Amino acid sequence: MKEFKVTPIRNGTVIDHITVGMALKVLKIIGVKDDVNSTVSVLIHVPSKKAGWKDIVKIEDRELDPKELDRIALISPNATINIIRDYNVAEKFIVEVPNVIKGIMKCSNPGCITNKDEPVEPEFVVESKKPITLRCVYCDRVTTDVAENIR
């Protein structure tokens, strides 16, 4: 049987150990659209020794900023980031869920001031990292449905 392999990238980012089924959500929350000018490889439901199954995203010629890493950590807290430079892994780390989340999620409470026409940036305190549980600092709404509320 022939084995198909995804080609290595020269420079860019590999997001490995994404929670299975979340690769397309990762692309959405970091703003990768069909108008991107570089190669994006998406592997879904790949065998994993650690978790059984995983997803992988490879983005050529792009390194992620801290806010993008925070977004990934919220929906896939075990994801590993590999920064590739000249075909080699220059940096490798696991994303970390921050203690405070600002401006990257909306509150699930429609009556929250952050969902009104007020210039108030949504802010959450992380109550628990496993499972991820967040509390809005304005209305005290607690949410575990993080993936649905990421902007």
pLDDT of residue 35: 73
Q: Number of helices (H) and strands (E) in the chain: give both, helices first.
A: 3, 9
Residue in the block written with tokens 């995983």: 54
Domains of the chain, start order:
12-94 (3.30.70.140), 100-149 (2.30.30.20)
The contacts of residue 63 (CB under 8 Å, 6+ apart) are 12, 13, 83
Tens of each residue's pLDDT in the chain, 151 residues: 666 677 899 999 999 999 999 999 999 999 888 777 889 999 999 998 887 999 999 999 999 999 999 999 999 999 999 999 999 999 999 999 999 999 989 999 999 999 998 899 999 999 999 899 999 999 999 999 888 888 7
Helix (H, G, I), strand (E, B) or coil at 148: helix
For the chain, the helix, strand and coil percentages under 3-state DSSP, each to the nearest 5 = 15, 40, 45
